[in-house]
Amino acid sequence: MDEIDAHGSAQPEAAFGDTLPSRPEAGPVAPTAQPPDWVMPMVRKIIWRVVIVVLLVTALLIMATQARSLLSMLFVALFFGIAMEPAVNHLHMKRGMKRGAATGLVFVLSAAFLITLTFIMIPGLINVAGEMSTTLKSAIPKINDQFNTDFPTSKTDPAFATAEQNVKDWIQNNASDIMGFAGSTVGLIFQFFTIAMFAFYFAADAPRIRRAVLRKFQPAQQQRLGWAWDTAIEQTGGYLYSRLLLMLINGGLFFFVMLLVGVDWKISLPMSIFEGFVAEFIPAIGTYIGAAVPIVITWGIQGLTAAAILLIWTLIYQQLENYFLSPKISARTMEINGGIAFGSAMAGGAIGGPMLAFMSLPIAALVTSFLKNFSRRYPLAYFSPYDGDYTEADEQEMIESRPQASRDTAAATD
C-alpha cells in the first residue's frame, strides 16, 4: 500500500515496496515569445498580394488565349516594322525626308515587292504543274511497260473515267470545306491589311515608342538600353538586307542557268525565286531544299543532263557565296552562329509553321544582337593556349570596335 506523507497525500511505492522520491515542484512556466504586432498584418498583405497576382496572371492568360489571333498579328507587324526601320532611318536622317514620307515610301516598295513575287509565283506554279502533267502523260506508257502497271493514258481509258468520277465525288462531298477555304482566304486578306497597318505604325512611330519605353528606366540604364536597342536594330536590318541581296544574286544567276539548260522562262523565274529565298533564309538545309526542287523539275522536263548541270552550278555557286560574296556583303552586319540559326529555324517551324520558320532567323539575329550589346562585357585577361592565334592585340581590336565595352569597363572601374 502507498504510504501517507505529512501532508496527507499518498506516496507511490516501487515494485518491492520501497517508497519512491517525491516529485519536485514545477517551476514557473517560461513566457512564450510573441511575434511583433506588424508581422500578422504583413503576412496577410503578402497573401492577398499573391492571390491578386495569381488572379491577374490567370485573367491575362485567358485574355491572351482568346485574343491569340490579334497577338500573333501584332507580333508579325512588329517584326516587319523593325525590318523597315533601318531603311526608314536612312531616308529620314541621310536623305532629309520626313519620317512619315520615308515610312510610306519603304512601305509601298515592300508591298510592291511582295505583290510582284505573288503574281510571279502563282502563274509560275501553274505552268510548272502543266509542264509536269504533259511530261507525266508521255512518261506513263513507259512506266506501265517497265513496272507492269495500269495507269490511265487517255480520256477513253476506263480507268481515267473512274478517276474523273472519283474527283467529282470528292468535290461534292467536300463542298463545305472548299467554301470554308474561300472564307479563310478572305480572312487572310483582312489579316494582311491589319498587319500592314500596324507595321506602318511601328515603323513610323518607332522614336516615340522608344522614348516611352526608355522613360521607365533610370538615366544610367537608359544609356545602355538605348544604345543596345539602336545597335541591335541596325545590325538586324543589315543582316536582313544582306540576305535579301544574296537572294537576288543567287536567284538571278540560277535563273540564267536554268534558261541555258533549256527550261522555259515561265518556269525558270518562279523556281529561281523559290531557290534563292529558301537557300538564303533557311539555314544549313535551305541550300539543299531550295536547289532540290528545281533540279527535280528540270530533270522531269529537260532530262538528266540538264539537271546535272544545274546541280554542278549549285555546288560551284555555294562555294563562291561562302568564300567571297557573303563575307563582302555581310562585312558590316552581324553573323549568327550556325547552331543558333538552325535551332531557331527548327523551333520556329515547330511553333508557328513555315511563316515563323522564316521569321525566326531575323528574330534570332535581333535577340542575339541585343543581348550581345546590352550585356556587360569585360576585357579578356586570360588567353588559353588552346585558343589558337587569338592574342591580346585581337582583344584590343575587339574593344576598340565596340565602344560600349570600354564604357562598361570604365563604369565598373569607377
- Which residue from 280, 289, 266 is spatially nearest to 341, judged by alpha carbons? 280
Return d(Cα 107, Cα 101) in angstroms, integer.
10
Residues 195, 339 within the same domain: no
Asked if residue 175 belongs to a domain, the reply is no
pTM as predicted = 0.63
How much is the pLDDT for 107? 86
Tens-place pLDDT, residues 359-381: 676 777 777 777 776 777 777 77
How much is the pLDDT for 257? 92
Return d(Cα 383, Cα 396) in angstroms, integer.
13
Return the percentage of the chain with pLDDT > 70, whole number.
64
Residues 227, 203 within the same domain: no
Asked if residue 146 belongs to a domain, the reply is no
How much is the pLDDT for 406? 47
Q: Which residues, at least 6 apart from 381, have a Cβ–Cβ distance to it below 8 Å?
A: none
Asked if residue 6 belongs to a domain, the reply is no
Asked if residue 284 belongs to a domain, the reply is yes
Number of domains in the chain: 3
Residues 107, 191 within the same domain: yes
Return d(Cα 18, Cα 27) in angstroms, integer.
27
Return d(Cα 19, Cα 10) in angstroms, integer.
10
Residues 225, 313 within the same domain: yes
Asked if residue 148 belongs to a domain, the reply is no
Residues 210, 264 within the same domain: no
Return d(Cα 320, Cα 291) in angstroms, integer.
16
pLDDT range class, residue 61, cuts 50, 70, 90:
confident
Residues 316, 249 within the same domain: yes
Q: Is it the case that residue 73 has pLDDT exceeding 60?
A: yes
Asked if residue 25 belongs to a domain, the reply is no
- Which residue from 268, 293, 286, 272 is spatially nearest to 348, judged by alpha carbons? 286
Residues 347, 206 within the same domain: no
Rank 133-142, 245-254, 281-290 by mean pLDDT and report only the highest. 245-254
Containing structural domain, residue 122: 73-135+180-216
Residues 310, 210 within the same domain: no
Residues 403, 319 within the same domain: no
Asked if residue 273 belongs to a domain, the reply is yes
Where are the alpha helices (H) located in 261-285, listed in sequence order?
A: 265-281
Tens-place pLDDT, residues 32-49: 666 677 778 888 888 888
The dihedral of CA 314, 315, 318, 319: what is its sign? negative
Rank 15-24, 283-292, 318-327 by mean pLDDT and report only the highest. 318-327
Residues 224, 371 within the same domain: yes
Return d(Cα 205, Cα 85) in angstroms, integer.
10
How much is the pLDDT for 299? 84
**Boundary (domain end) residue, out of 193, 216, 239:** 216
Residues 227, 200 within the same domain: no
Residues 87, 107 within the same domain: yes
- Which residue from 337, 401, 402 is spatially nearest to 376, judged by alpha carbons? 402
The dihedral of CA 83, 89, 94, 100: what is its sign? positive
**Boundary (domain end) residue, out of 172, 193, 216:** 216
Tens-place pLDDT, residues 96-116: 888 888 888 988 888 888 788
Asked if residue 291 belongs to a domain, the reply is yes
- The helix (H) or strand (E) run that includes residue 329 is helix 326-329
Q: Is it the case that residue 141 has pLDDT exceeding 70?
A: no
How much is the pLDDT for 390? 75
